[in-house]
Structure 1
């Protein structure tokens, strides 16, 4: 049984979501703020966070959870549908659901994330790469050679792996890896992706691991 940490201060919504998730067999720990976060986070399998909360907002709580354990998937819930809010949420979280939503949609998204993060205990394969999710050792399946990355290349690829199959903007990637605001025209990210492709792609001139999504950003697709 998966344990879900749910933080929502609106009683009506909180009761409804908790009842729906419990009915589906999940163990739900419902809090109305992030004050007891450290006490609850130890054995959590997934966190669902509202953004507008008393005290620390959902963004701050989510970032704190990822610092404690980056392998806890996070779903942000919010009535705020602006692109800026979604981008901020997805810079660290794994999904973003806007209110109102159907409970079946939320449950489907929970199941997708639980399946994806279950793999973190094992090996995953992306193209010709085999990745040990415990050590993040990367092996070329065709040659059985280990691929060694530099510090920033490692951080960048790790960020992609945490957001498998998601299209990530340049802003998300830069802010997620360098922890600084992206400035339009800065070539740092592009240079690091080129170097990373030279390490992990069979043909860096025709990359298939790190896809370029024209006009938006990049994606690593499993």
Structure 2
């Protein structure tokens, strides 16, 4: 489940360093804030938030409300020493999950994976690419979206839907340009631009099968 951008808001230095190390080892990209003061600058760049409740400035509940005003999709997991039922109910009302301290990091990882899958659906990792299938989006190794034109998106996800199979030029013409004049070079032009954007100039991910067509390789030997 690596490749996602995680925002960790935790003022305890020891817990923050521990969690950041564990999450990074699992392939997550972690932004760590000790007080949440700069949270507005992170919201558009993260996939999930791990939020302490008791913080030096605003509490985690107030910060989470600000996040939800920007995006309802971003899952929030509260981490807190408060284990009373009222605190849990409040946390679950605002966020998606609530984990009382002390906790086993393995439990946190499982909860994260479930929330990420629920929020973003099936995700495939191919080399440096993270492919969000349900949202039809591509992200690089830093978690930043790779912006595609509508035609490039149709080409890539047509290949993805038929991954590890060869698609001929005729397949692409029928799928993307069925009623238009078919310039023989139009597919080559779009494919070159697409490969440049996904940093696949050598054609390992989208492979040219000479004399036949193209294939998206989901398993690549390095």
Name the TM-score, length of structure 1 as normaliser. 0.54
- Unaligned runs of 5+ residues in structure 2 are 122-131, 136-222
Match among 70, 74, 77 for residue 75 of structure 1 = 77
**What is the alpha-carbon distance in structure 2 between the residues aligned to residue 74 and residue 85 of structure 1?**
15
Residue 105 of structure 2 corresponds to residue 117 of structure 1: no
The residue number in structure 1 matching 2:50 is 48
Q: Secondary structure at the match of 1:33?
A: coil
Match among 95, 98, 101 for residue 99 of structure 1 = 101
Structure of higher CA gyration radius: 2
The residue number in structure 2 matching 1:167 is none
Q: Secondary structure at the match of 1:42?
A: helix
Deviations 1:121-178 (A, max 9, x none): 849xxxxxxxxxxxxxxxxxxxxxxxxxxxxxxxxxxxxxxxxxxxxxxxxxxxxxxx
Give structure 1 regions of 4+ aligned residues with deviation exceeding 3 angstroms.
119-123
Residue 26 of structure 2 corresponds to residue 24 of structure 1: yes
Deviations 1:39-63 (A, max 9, x none): 1111200000000001110010111
**What is the alpha-carbon distance in structure 1 between the residues aligned to residue 45 and residue 54 of structure 2?**
25
Once the two structures are TM-superposed, the CA of residue 34 in structure 1 deviates from its matched residue by: 1.5
When the two structures are aligned, how many residues end up with a matched partner? 123
The residue number in structure 2 matching 1:89 is 91
Name the TM-score, length of structure 2 as normaliser. 0.54
- Unaligned runs of 5+ residues in structure 1 are 124-222
Deviations 1:79-130 (A, max 9, x none): 100000001101110000011111111000000000000139849xxxxxxx
**What is the alpha-carbon distance in structure 2 between the residues aligned to residue 28 and residue 45 of structure 1?**
10
**What is the alpha-carbon distance in structure 2 between the residues aligned to residue 37 and residue 43 of structure 1?**
10
**What is the alpha-carbon distance in structure 1 between the residues aligned to residue 91 and residue 39 of structure 2?**
18
**What is the alpha-carbon distance in structure 2 between the residues aligned to residue 37 and residue 13 of structure 1?**
19
The residue number in structure 2 matching 1:191 is none
Root-mean-square deviation (CA, aligned residues, Å) is 1.6
Q: 1:85 to 1:24 in 2, by over 3 A?
A: same
